[in-house]
Amino acid sequence: VRPGTTLRAGLSLLPRGRTAQPVVAAIELAAGATVGAYRVIERLGEGGMGTVYTVEHKVLGRRHALKVLRPGLVEGERDAADRFLREARAAARIHHANIVDVYDFGHLRDGRPYFVMELLSGESLADRVDRGPLAPSEAIAIIRQLADALAAAHDCGVIHADVTPGNAFLVGDGSVAKLLDFGLAELVGETVRDETNNFVLGTPSYISPEQLLGLAATDRSDQYSLGVVLFELLAGRPPYVNADLRQLCLAHVNAPIPDVMSKFGPLPPKLIDLVTTCLQKSPQARFPGMRAVLAALDEVEQVTDRSGWRRWLSR
């Protein structure tokens, strides 16, 4: 199953790229078009729910990214506009260096919502890991930043609910990581569902067992997904890989946690404990919160300094 595929709790799969007829006649945002206070410079690309453009503020001259809801809504995803608004509001609610900034929100003349956000230059974490495993020191540095971003989100009562390499971005030379795409974000105690079909949404390779079982995502659900990402950064692949969607989901729920040592080679015990704890099937068996994950990362770094693992981690 390719990262970015939309998963539904009944194990029915609908790729994000499938489109239906537009609900309204969509406006074409060509270069030079005006959207509120912004002028369109160029089209950057298209994701699951939105198309992204480079825009420039007509007065200030600053360049930003503008994301607008795609004109072709996927059949059976009529809550797409709500999820798009949720993404903008959740990201704007959290002020953190490792979360993309959202500056403005509005609607095009055709009724589609858009929001204006920070324009980033670099590559997605998914693109980086596609080239192979990361050095442990690099992986830990990235995970620390994402964990810090998630801790800030959780402090604001926001659960990301879809932490994946595709939803993280490495800015510039890759030393700064940004958490993106709060389209499935939810407030504590809520569950993100397709209201038409009562399906739970997420990304199969990274979704937590409790989300697959239809329970509300919590901060510990984000922790599980972050553990999957850390595993993939170190091993070059997620802990569970299966072309059969049902078997992949069952692995998240029932399969033993893969032997970390067999995948990574010799690692400090505290780093192995960190990965293993994040990947526990039961949320109660994981760390009590993202701040505890950050504390565990501190311990990993302290151990590497004392025992000489620092040289190994930096190789």
Largest CA distance in the chain: 64
Cβ burial 135-170 (10 Å sphere, 16+ → b, else e): ebbbbbbbbbbbbbbbbbbbeeebbbbbbbbbbbbb
Q: How far is the CA of 215 from the CAs of 121, 192, 201, 207, 224, in angstroms? A: 36, 10, 11, 12, 14
Rounded distance between C-alpha atoms, residue 253 and residue 146, angstroms: 24
List the structure tokens of 196: 């038409």
Which of 109, 86, 111 shows the shortest CA–CA distance to 35?
109
Match 């949404």 to its residue by tokens: 201
The catalytically annotated residue of 104, 148, 162, 194 is: 162
Q: Which residues 6+ apart lie within 8 Å of 64 measured at CB?
A: 38, 54, 55, 56, 57, 103, 116, 117, 118, 119
Instruction: Compute the residue count for the chain.
Output: 315
Rounded distance between C-alpha atoms, residue 75 and residue 205, angstroms: 23
Q: What is the DSSP string of 72-126?
A: SPPTT-TTHHHHHHHHHHHHHH---TTB--EEEEEE-TTS-EEEEE----EEEHH
162 is catalytic: yes
Q: Give the residue numbers marked as catalytic.
A: 162
